[in-house]
Amino acid sequence: MKPILPPSLPADEISGSVPTTRRAWLKTAALATGAAVALEPGNRTSAATADPGGRITRGRIRQSIMGWTFNPMPTPELAGHCRDIGLVAMEGINPSHYPLIRKMGLAVSLVSSHGFGRGPFNPDNHAFVEEKLREAIDLAVRVDCRNVITFTGMREAGISDEAGARNCVETWKRVIGHAEKNNVRLCLEHLNSRDTSHPMKGHAGYFGDDVDFCVELIRRVDSPNMKLLFDIYHVQIMNGDVIRRLRQYKDYIAHYHTAGVPGRGELDETQELNYPAILRAILETGYEGYVAQEFLPTWPDPILALRHAAKLCDV
């Protein structure tokens, strides 16, 4: 399937000026009404019908996408949609696609590493985690990306929380020098452990499920290259008070992820978060990094969902 391109509009409609003819006024009104109706629950239509201008125009937020959420759509096809909508980067895709997306003008916003299952909480994983983090740092340098993701891993029987915390910090300290030397940041992601409805909506047993404690672990590493991946979806489920927390931790945050709560679906009227307010608060902190869309599409047209989310976050 080819990327969906919005139809061209008259100059007065593109600029936002008042149409000068009755015909132009009627066309503008019909487009607005069609977009509103199409976004009502149970009445989603194609992207071109619902929002022919569903593209990023302000660009103050550098938007990316976590590619795995749009599986099984092929990465090249998704990249084409992202470029047409105005997203500027991708992540969570197979590194074999990095040359292609960079050729298309899209950046790599985050490089994957060891995964959330085998983390440094357990010392048996330390050699594996260190190897994967060093490999990811080297890859990030090659593709001009500043961020590498890391996780705590799962709690395990026989290891206390304080011992697990020491294990995590000691592992990251052994790697952080390599990150500093290469101007790359390790980004610790906080994940929720409450939602058990789907293996990627929540992660029961995950050690780093309290964002305040994740920041404490980052402080213990004591490096400007150890940062927080603030996943708005996970923070809302486990801790809440999203805007106050992102302001509180603005000096530690290097990356953001989005998704609707509950359900990790679209950023639409069925969820409890006010994303425009959250994105404005992010801008007010002086943040200049990426915000990656990481929702699981449920609308019949997933690209309409992406257009909607991109426009909503284009504050």
pLDDT digits (tens, 9 = 90+) for 119-139: 999 999 999 999 999 999 999
Is the pLDDT score of 20 beyond 80? no
Rounded Cα distance between 307 and 53, Å, is: 9
Looking at per-residue pLDDT, the higher value among 49 and 251 belongs to: 251
Closest CA to 133 of 103, 174, 96, 163: 174
Is the pLDDT score of 108 beyond 80? yes
Q: Tell me what pLDDT residue 62 has.
A: 98
- Looking from the CA of 121 toward its CB, the CA atoms found within 13 Å total 24
Q: What mean pLDDT is predicted for residues 233-257?
A: 98
Please state the three-class secondary structure of the chain as a single string. CCCCCCCCCCHHHHHCCCCCCHHHHHHHHHHHHHHHHHCCCCCCCCHHHHCCCCCCCCCCCEEEEEHHHHCCCCHHHHHHHHHHHCCCEEECCCHHHHHHHHHCCCEEEEECCCCCCCCCCCHHHHHHHHHHHHHHHHHHHHCCCCEEEECCCECCCCCCHHHHHHHHHHHHHHHHHHHHHCCCEEEEECCCCCCCCCCCCCCCCECCCCHHHHHHHHHHHCCCCEEEEEEHHHHHHHCCCHHHHHHHCCCCEEEEEECCCCCCCCCCCCCCCCHHHHHHHHHHCCCCCEEEECCCCCCCCHHHHHHHHHHHCCC
Is the pLDDT score of 39 beyond 80? no
Is the pLDDT score of 17 beyond 60? no
Is the pLDDT score of 53 beyond 90? no
Q: What mean pLDDT is predicted for residues 50-61?
A: 79
Is the pLDDT score of 254 beyond 90? yes
| pTM for the structure as a whole | 0.84
pLDDT band at 54 (very low <50, low <70, confident <90, very high): confident
Looking at per-residue pLDDT, the higher value among 165 and 31 belongs to: 165
Is the pLDDT score of 68 beyond 90? yes
